[in-house]
Amino acid sequence: MCGIVGYVGCRNATPVLLNGLRKLEYRGYDSAGIAVLSKSSDEIVVKKSKGALKFLVEKITKEVVRTSESMSDADADRRFSELVGKTGDFIDGCVGIGHTRWATHGEPSDLNAHPHTNVSGSIAVVHNGIVENYGKLKSWLQSNGIVFKSQTDTEVIAHLLNYFYERTNNIFNAVLETLHRLEGSYAIGVICRDFPDRLIAARKESPLVVGVGNGENFIASDVPAVLEHTREVHFLEQNEIAVLYSDHVDLFNSEGEKIVRGTTHIDWNMDAAEKGGYAHFMLKEIHEQPSALENTIRAHMLFGDDGKPSGLTFSKEIEPERFRELVSGARRIVITACGTAYHAGVVGKYAFEKFARVPTVVDVASEFRYRNPILGEGDVFIVISQSGETADTLAALRLAKSKGAKVIAITNSVGSSVSRESDFVIYTLAGPEIAVASTKAYTTQLACLYMLSMMFGRERGIIGDGEYARLLGEFAAVPEKVQQILDEKAAVQKFASSQFNKSKIFYIGRQFDSASSLESALKLKEVSYMHCEAFAAGELKHGPIALVDPDTLVIAIATEPPLFEKLASNIEEVKSRRAVTMCITQDDSGAFEKCCDEIIKIPATESAFESILSVVPAQLFAYYCSVLRGNDPDKPRNLAKSVTVE
Ligand code: M6R
């Protein structure tokens, strides 16, 4: 949902800003812009362009990135970096802000691109979020004679800053006054010609990180944008303001009172945020799943002297006493999330009911938050969010807390709003997920849910000693089984090359597999733009089968042996309507051979855990279809990685 960056230091700001924006393009990519306080003219120079970041770089350097049609992507990448390196020759200055946009108010265009300025161009602002009362503010500013250049909500911030600056002659006070009048969400970066030594940043709801360097400081919407410069950061808290100078950073609360807080050290290295030889982040992240799962599982698994798994612990997240209280008091588990994280929650529902025998409901956060939900004593509330900043998920979390529920968060983002506001936090150790389509975050979310549900089952006496040891042994082996699937990816690639032009694709499955179907279908929609739906297999005959014709591909996920026969009958039903059929299964009894045109084999494990395995071929299928259709899987149209607006 838009990415913002800012720099103050001794280096030329322009390439620093553009390189930072490159790391944030996953947050929005319909236009980009920068504003730099030029040393030579003492004015703020603004450059903006509709479309991907490369168009902005081309505009600044007046050179093209792709010099010939046959240029490879890798060469185009290199040339892009080369041109970014030259941008400092065109705009000098050591203080600046930048933005990559995901349009909310106003179509993607040069004019609507950020930064926005006051009328004289002496103040520039970049913004991520939505100013909900912008209509009222705009009318008021217009009645004061301001003529707006763009259709954005953000432009009101620039004019309000100007209004208060004219009255206070102090840019910090102008920021404070302006923020007090904004409703909605924001992360902003502000520079002012009259204060060339500083950059001011603030946040409410939308995330913002301050990178603390040596003789230089940075702001960014997300950590990867500052990682190449520093690993010391401040995660700005709600309503905080930061004033960055080259040699220090001051933090303030919303009343302008100083706050003293140490920095947080980021453990990831740069490699984690780079493509590392893969054509796309999505492919890299699919391949990182064995290690991401291993890290996530090992963080909670105990091993005996014989090296075998001997137990699970969440004691780092929830003290054993409180965990026991949670478990014994749990009357119901309520899981809430959005998108892929919601799909993880659907798998979680099956896991909690199977392993812990606790009634579990799962709901999308955008519905939950407006339903006046019934929550009470004994409800354990679980929110799942990769980014930890999703607006609907946060609202659901706050609502659950206000009703007295204990909240457990499963998130990938240390320091995120979700992690800060929950009672207990379980981290997925997936590392940074850059591709918009979530892959390794999903499977590590599943890992946390399985472990939590087994712990609940163990504590409630549902899982006995022998069964616990068997389950843990199976679970510990899941990462290497994911690796086996990746080693056989050529079969999925080949299948994708024969199916990527299908007009309709359906995923079907039963129980855990119907949950996996939801995620598999979402993946395909997101990156290939093919029309794909997921159905509980038994539901086909109640309507959806009317859609089936020879141009339909039906992919069955089959990992529940007691239901194989039923599922095979469902596949027969679509096959007899001449659909192409494919099955993802661990079965080697031949149950699906007759009814399926293609079978992708996955390794066998405890059937409940197969959900972590069965989604991997589906992720690969989505990735290959996307590439075969000429899309950029890392930046699917109309989507953004972190949805910080409603
Ligand atoms: O950061 P979150 O996990 O809260 O994000 C939730 C969804 O926006 C996210 O999973 C989205 O559906 C992804 N694009 C899925 O690939």
Please count the structural domains in the chain: 3
Residue nearest to atom 11 of ligand 1 (CA): 339
Q: Are 76 and 52 in contact (CB under 8 A)?
A: no
Phi, psi of 174 (to 5 degrees): -65, -40
Lowest pLDDT segment from 92-101, 312-321, 454-463: 312-321
Whether 73 is in a domain gets the answer yes
Average pLDDT for 241-245: 98
Average pLDDT for 82-94: 93
Evaluate: CB of 436 within 6 angstroms of ligand 1.
Answer: yes
pLDDT of residue 326: 87
Q: What pTM value is reported for the model?
A: 0.75
pLDDT band at 272 (very low <50, low <70, confident <90, very high): low
- Ligand 1 centroid, distance to 386 Cα (angstroms): 7
Q: What angle do CA 550, 556, 558 make, to 5 degrees?
A: 155
Q: Which domain holds residue 407?
A: 278-476
Evaluate: CB of 339 within 6 angstroms of ligand 1.
Answer: yes
**In terms of domains, do 363 and 225 share one?**
no
Give the CATH number of the domain where residue 624 resides: 3.40.50.10490
**In terms of domains, do 375 and 443 share one?**
yes
Site to substitute for ligand 1 among 368, 390, 519, most atoms within 8 A of C-beta: 390
- Report the C-alpha gap between 78 and 67 in whole angstroms: 12
pLDDT of residue 150: 94
Is residue 338 annotated as a catalytic residue, yes or no? Answer: no
Is residue 625 annotated as a catalytic residue, yes or no? Answer: no
Q: Are 96 and 15 in contact (CB under 8 A)?
A: no
Q: Are 272 and 432 in contact (CB under 8 A)?
A: yes
Q: Are 229 and 209 in contact (CB under 8 A)?
A: no
Average pLDDT over the chain reads: 93
Evaluate: CB of 390 within 6 angstroms of ligand 1.
Answer: yes
Q: Are 447 and 428 in contact (CB under 8 A)?
A: yes
Average pLDDT for 396-423: 90
Alpha-helical (H) ranges within 576-634 are 610-628
- Residue ending a domain, among 408, 441, 476, is 476
pLDDT of residue 378: 86
Predicted confidence (pLDDT) at residue 23 exceeds the cutoff of 90: no
pLDDT of residue 420: 87
Strands (E), 322-448: 332-337, 360-364, 379-385, 406-411, 424-427
Site to substitute for ligand 1 among 280, 281, 340, most atoms within 8 A of C-beta: 340
Whether 221 is in a domain gets the answer yes
Q: pLDDT per residue over 97-140, tens digit each?
A: 999 987 778 888 899 999 999 999 999 999 998 898 999 999 99
pLDDT band at 624 (very low <50, low <70, confident <90, very high): very high
pLDDT of residue 81: 92
**In terms of domains, do 190 and 315 share one?**
no
- Preceding peptide of 115 cis, ω within 30°: yes
Q: pLDDT per residue over 517-570, tens digit each?
A: 999 999 999 999 999 999 999 998 899 889 999 999 999 999 999 999 999 999
- Residue ending a domain, among 247, 273, 299, is 273
Whether 359 is in a domain gets the answer yes
pLDDT band at 645 (very low <50, low <70, confident <90, very high): low
- Report the C-alpha gap between 96 and 125 in whole angstroms: 10
Predicted confidence (pLDDT) at residue 271 exceeds the cutoff of 70: no
- Residue ending a domain, among 238, 273, 308, is 273
Q: pLDDT per residue over 422-433, tens digit each?
A: 999 999 999 888
Strands (E), 139-196: 184-192
pLDDT of residue 270: 62
Strands (E), 38-167: 44-50, 95-101, 116-117, 123-131
**In terms of domains, do 268 and 294 share one?**
no
Whether 329 is in a domain gets the answer yes
